[in-house]
Every structure is written in C-alpha cells, then in structure tokens.
Amino acid sequence: MDKSWWKGAVIYQIYPRSFKDGNQDGIGDLDGITEELDYIRDLGVDAIWLSPIFRSPMKDFGYDISDYREIDPLFGTMADFDRLLEAAHERGIKVILDQVYNHTSDQHPWFKESCSSKDNPKADWYVWVDGEKGTPPNNWLSYFGGEAWEWVETRKQYYLHLFVKEQPDLNWRHHEVRKQVMQSIKFWLDKGVDGFRFDVVNLFYKDDRLRDNPVKYPEEPIAFNRHYHLYTRDRPETEGAVEEIRELMDFYDDRVSIGEVATELGQAQYFAYTRPNRLNLAFNFDFKELRPFAAKTYTEHVKLNESVFRDFAWPSYVLGNHDSKRFLSKLGEGEDALRKAKVLAALLLTLRGTPFIYYGEEIGMREAEIPYEKIVDPQGKNLWPKNVGRDGCRTPMQWNSGLYAGFSRTEPWLPIGGDVQEVNVERQKADPASMLQYYKQLIRIRKASDALRFGRLEFLETKEEALMAFFRIGESERNLVLLNFGDRAIGLNLEDFGVKTWRYLGGTTSHPVGFSGLSLSLEPYEAAILETN
Ligand code: NOJ
Ligand code: CA
C-alpha cells in the first residue's frame, strides 16, 4: 500500500485575501494566515493550499501574475512568506502554492516587451496572430465573456487571452517560455514548499491551426461562453509539458502536484493528467454540481470514478472552492441544508481519495449576497446578472461576531456574510454540536484510520434507496460508513452486512464513541462511521 502523505492528507484551501488581515488594511495577508496557524492545526488538516500570493495587478485577484518570484505587497514580503512556511512546518502543516502558467498579467515585463514590437527577443512568448482590426482570427471566446482576442496597435496583431484581456496566454510552444516556467517552479521548490496546484493545467496548449471551436449554444450572445472548448484545451502537447513538470518535481522528495483540469469531459480527462509520470492529483469537481441530493447520485458517481482510477491514479474530491457558489447554499435553506451538508462532509472525509476543504466550509459559511455595486470579480461584472460572479464565495472568514467578523478592524474588500452571528469560529468552538466540531471530529477519525486514508473502497448493496453504505478496508482494520440521504429513519441489522462486531466512531448523532450492538437505527440525514470486524 503506497502511503504517500498527499494520499492520506486533508488539504485546506485558503483564499489569502479573505482569511485574516494581519495589518488591518481590509485585505487578508500572509501575516494573518500565520496568526491563525494554530486554528488550522487544531482543525487537524495536513496541508494548506494558498490561492496566488504573487505580485499582481489583481485584475483577477492574483490569477494575473506580473512576477512569479515576488510576493505581492498587499500580502506581505518574502520574509513574511518565509516565516509563514517555517511556522507551518513547525506545526506539521505542509504548504502548497498556486502556480498560474497558462497566462501572465499584461503588466508582466515579458508581456510588455513582447508587445513592443514584432521582433523583440520575447516577440513570440505569447500567442500573437495576424489579422484585421475588428476581425479576430477565429471564434475562440474568453471564459469571462466576449472574444478571446485583443488587438494591439504597435504590432498590428491580436493576442490570445482565454480569461480577461489583462491575462494574455503564454505561448507554450516557445522553448524559452517552457524553460522559464520550469525555473520558476524550481525557485519555489528550492524554497521548500511542499507542492503546487497548477491553474487550468489543461489549457496550456491550443490548437496550432487555430481551428474554430464548435458552437454549443448558438442562441447565446457572444458575451457568454457558448462553445465547446475543443481546440482550446486538452491538446496532446500539454501532456508532454505536464510530464516535464513532474520530472522536475521528482528531483525533490515528497512534493505534491495537483492539476486544475478545467474540462467538461469527465473522469477520463482527470485520469489523463494523473498518470504515474504526470501529476499526482487532479481536481474532480463533479461533487460541486451533482444533483439531486440522493444516495444513488453520489454512489454512481463514486463507482464510476473508482472504475476509472483503480490502481493507476489517486482520486480527489471537493465540495467547493473560490470559483463556485458555497456548497451549503446549493443545498437549500434552514436545518435540512445543514443536515445534508453534514452528510456530504462525511462522504468527502471517508472516501478513498484526497479531500479538499475550502476555508469557511468547516463552519458552514453560506454564499453571501453581494449587491451589484459591490461586485469586484470580473466574471460577475462582465456577465451580470446571468452570472453574478464569484465574490459571494470569497467573503472574509468569520472568526467572531464582532467588528467585521474579527477578520479585520478596517472595512474589508468584500462584505461580511449575513449569517455571521451564528456562523463564526468563536461561537462554534464553544458549541459541541457545531459544524466546526463536526468537521474536527471527521478529520480526527480519518487521521486515526489507515483504512479511511489509504484503504480499498467497497460498496454494500442494500434495499434502502436513501442509504449509501461502504466499507473502507485497510491492511488490518476496516471501517463501515453509513450515510442516510433521506428524511426518514432507516433500521439496519448489521449482521446482514456480515458485520459481527462494531464500534461507533462518530458522525452526526451523539451516540457515545464505542457504542455498539447488533442493530442500528439511522436517523434522517444521519452519517455514522463505525469500526468493524
Ligand atoms: C482558474 C482559477 O481557479 C480562477 O479563479 C481563475 O480566474 C482562472 N483559473 C484564471 O486563472
Ligand atoms: Ca492586510
């Protein structure tokens, strides 16, 4: 059994602008994160992944980078970063950084130089194409609305940007670009960071013939992304680039590579990026969109995943991130939504595969409503009201119910969520029945079991439609996970599953740990984790 740390780890995503403000300017920063490392350690997670902290004009809040080797002053200095890294390592917390190499900022010196003429040394470092002003080279569209092409008068050419126009796409076909990327990765590896999340890793190469993408929804206005991105992603050349990254990372001990694979093509694509000589992990975003909330939906999805991944690659699961509506808010309102969220949290933390938790999920933060005037995300600004953007899932972490949720003493860059009175760390620390305590418990249970972290997954067939039941089977231990997706109690005789002895480890009810018996009645939306013979 391969027990690489990242297989057994729980990874916590921090959106640095919104976690904790150390210098009281209203924007989260590195010192703020360092201040809260004890909170992170107590939560029990093994690693933090920081969304970009590098120098950036912030047109896409850090995903537009103008210097890959500098910390943006808003977040602090390199010395602050070194301190954060050291303090995290002292607590046994690994640090994963975001790497954005599909595009740079238009303020990156490379792009400025590239823009200046057609024959400067960096002239081909970006995707430049001849054309007529007003007639872009093909029909490719930006993910953030409108054409993916921008005209530059000095060169009398178009450049490609799959995101906002301030994010020009790098030309990965240029050997020097590839070399620069590898050197920048190496810079952070040498600093001792534990791994990377690679932004839109499957977009690096585009069709060299610039063929039109097939139109998917002809009725959509051009502002919306109405195409299949057939020729703008998953090109075979990308796989070679990923292999080169892996080769570099393998020179170092124990680093993890995680790909953000932006695709609609399903498991096959995640798999393509996570072969033994490619990335260690790729995000599987499917849980974010799975409907309806039913045992069958999730069971089928996980089975499919397992059948694709088998022993070749390691799965991963997320319920939310900085690009999508907070998952709790997708489950509806009130108590039932909270109960459902707890079922999904138990699923996330007991499956075979690396779980990611997005900051705030552990206290049950909901999507915040942001009035139009306060929207800052380019996606929301460009596509409103059809797409309100991502600000609602990026609001400040709610530490307490005081001024600005204890995030800052200055008005924060985004408003505080309306649920702060109930949903905050301080309150939930003191409440044994809170979401925070529940997450801590789940993480603790996972950590204590080799079976849950590394073991095989075996589903149980039952007649109960609302029940999801599976074993996690380790070398010497076995866990049984029972999830009631329904609003009615389910009576179970565990002997039917071949279980003779068991111990209750935890879940949504307050059965005492160690509680045992032969039959077990699952309450509506109950999650129960057992240790069995
Ligand atoms: C994916 C990131 O998660 C998203 O936040 C960003 O806007 C795009 N990539 C562009 O870098
Ligand atoms: Ca700050």
Whether 25 sits among the annotated catalytic residues: the reply is no
Distance 21 CA to ligand 2 centre (A): 4
**Backbone φ/ψ region at 517: left (φ over 0), alpha (ψ -120 to 50), beta:** left
Distance 17 CA to ligand 1 centre (A): 15
Distance CA 529, CA 343 (A): 11
Distance CA 68, CA 225 (A): 29
Distance 529 CA to ligand 1 centre (A): 36
List the beta bridge partners of residue 13. 49, 358
Active-site entry in 98, 199, 361, 362:
199
Asked if 253 and 223 count as a contact pair (C-beta separation under 8 A), the reply is no
Distance 94 CA to ligand 1 centre (A): 23
- Nearest ligand (C-alpha, residue 410): 2
Q: What is the pLDDT of residue 1?
A: 83
Ligand 1: which of 59, 64, 163 to mutate, judged by most atoms within 8 Å of the beta carbon? 163
Distance 520 CA to ligand 1 centre (A): 45
Distances (CA, A) of 532 to 110, 351, 355, 475: 59, 17, 23, 13
CB within 6 Å of ligand 1 — which residues? 60, 63, 100, 163, 199-200, 260, 322-323
Q: What is the pLDDT of residue 228?
A: 83
Active-site entry in 31, 260, 306, 526:
260
Give the closest residue to 483 by CA, choosing from 514, 509, 522, 532.
522
Phi, psi of 41 (to 5 degrees): -60, -45
Q: What is the pLDDT of residue 460?
A: 96
Which residue intervals of 310-383 are DSSP H helices?
327-330, 334-348, 378-383
- Nearest ligand (C-alpha, residue 24): 2
Domains 109-160 and 456-532 alike in fold? no
Q: What is the pLDDT of residue 270?
A: 83
Asked if 483 and 459 count as a contact pair (C-beta separation under 8 A), the reply is no
Give the closest residue to 259 by CA, choosing from 326, 243, 176.
243
Q: By three-state DSSP, how is residue 73 classified?
A: coil
- Nearest ligand (C-alpha, residue 260): 1
pTM metric for this prediction? 0.97
Strand bridging mode 47-50 / 11-14: parallel
Read off the tokens for 38: 């004890």
Ligand 1: which of 323, 356, 379 to mutate, judged by most atoms within 8 Å of the beta carbon? 323
Distance 7 CA to ligand 1 centre (A): 24
Q: What amino acid occupies position 245?
A: I
Distance 471 CA to ligand 1 centre (A): 36
Looking from the CA of residue 262, the nearest atom of ligand 1 is 1
Q: What amino acid occupies position 122?
A: K
Distance 414 CA to ligand 2 centre (A): 13
Q: Is the dihedral of CA 104, 109, 114, 117 positive or negative?
A: positive
- Nearest ligand (C-alpha, residue 28): 2
Q: Around Cβ 367, how many Cβ atoms within 10 Å?
A: 21
Q: What is the pLDDT of residue 308?
A: 85
Roughly how many angstroms between the first and final C-alpha of the chain, as a whole number? Answer: 20
Q: Is the dihedral of CA 474, 476, 482, 483 positive or negative?
A: negative
Give the closest residue to 504 by CA, choosing from 487, 473, 526, 474.
526
Provide the edge-to-edge strand list for the sheet that holds 527-532. 456-459, 467-473, 478-484, 527-532, 502-507
Distance 75 CA to ligand 1 centre (A): 19
Residue nearest to atom 3 of ligand 1 (CA): 323
Q: By three-state DSSP, how is residue 307 classified?
A: helix
Per-residue HEC secondary structure of 12-59 comes to: EEECHHHCCCCCCCCCCCHHHHHHCHHHHHHHCCCEEEECCCEECCCC
Which listed CATH number (3.30.413.10, 2.60.40.2250, 3.40.50.150, 3.90.400.10) goes with 109-160? 3.90.400.10
Fold of 5-101+258-443: TIM Barrel (3.20.20)
Q: Around Cβ 175, how many Cβ atoms within 10 Å?
A: 8
Looking from the CA of residue 63, the nearest atom of ligand 1 is 11
Ligand 1: which of 108, 199, 203 to mutate, judged by most atoms within 8 Å of the beta carbon? 199
Asked if 435 and 342 count as a contact pair (C-beta separation under 8 A), the reply is yes
The enclosing H or E element of 392 equals none
Residue nearest to atom 4 of ligand 1 (CA): 323
Distance CA 282, CA 279 (A): 7
Distance CA 242, CA 199 (A): 12
Residue nearest to atom 2 of ligand 1 (CA): 199
Q: What is the pLDDT of residue 177?
A: 98
Q: How far is CA 280 from the centre of its chain?
A: 15
Residue nearest to atom 5 of ligand 1 (CA): 323
Ligand 1: which of 14, 17, 60 to mutate, judged by most atoms within 8 Å of the beta carbon? 60
| Per-domain boundaries in the chain | 5-101+258-443, 109-160, 175-257, 456-532
Whether 260 sits among the annotated catalytic residues: the reply is yes
In sequence order, which residues have a C-beta less than 8 Å from that of residue 511 and are 6 or more positions away? 504, 528
DSSP 349: T
- Nearest ligand (C-alpha, residue 104): 1
Looking from the CA of residue 323, the nearest atom of ligand 1 is 5
Distance CA 159, CA 161 (A): 7
Q: Around Cβ 126, how many Cβ atoms within 10 Å?
A: 25
Distance CA 69, CA 268 (A): 34
Q: What is the pLDDT of residue 262?
A: 79
Residue nearest to atom 11 of ligand 1 (CA): 63
Residue nearest to atom 8 of ligand 1 (CA): 63
CATH class of the 456-532 domain in this structure: mainly beta
Give the closest residue to 238 by CA, choosing from 266, 262, 215.
262
DSSP 108: S
Residue nearest to atom 6 of ligand 1 (CA): 63
Asked if 341 and 439 count as a contact pair (C-beta separation under 8 A), the reply is no
Looking from the CA of residue 379, the nearest atom of ligand 1 is 7
Distance CA 48, CA 417 (A): 23
DSSP 367: P
Looking from the CA of residue 102, the nearest atom of ligand 1 is 11
Distance CA 249, CA 441 (A): 34
Looking from the CA of residue 390, the nearest atom of ligand 1 is 5
From first to last of the 533 residues of the chain, give the pLDDT tens digit. 889 999 999 999 999 999 999 999 999 999 999 999 999 999 999 999 999 999 999 999 999 999 999 999 999 999 999 999 999 999 999 999 999 999 999 999 999 999 999 999 999 999 999 999 999 999 999 999 899 999 999 999 999 999 999 999 999 999 999 999 999 999 999 999 999 999 999 999 999 999 999 988 888 777 677 788 899 999 999 999 999 999 999 999 999 999 999 776 677 778 889 999 999 999 999 898 889 999 999 999 999 989 888 888 899 999 999 999 999 999 999 999 999 999 999 999 999 999 999 999 999 999 999 999 999 999 999 889 989 999 999 999 999 999 999 999 999 999 999 999 999 999 999 999 999 999 999 999 999 999 999 999 999 999 999 999 999 999 999 999 999 999 999 999 999 999 999 999 999 987 877 777 778 899 999 999 999 98
Asked if 199 and 102 count as a contact pair (C-beta separation under 8 A), the reply is yes
Q: By three-state DSSP, how is residue 294 classified?
A: coil
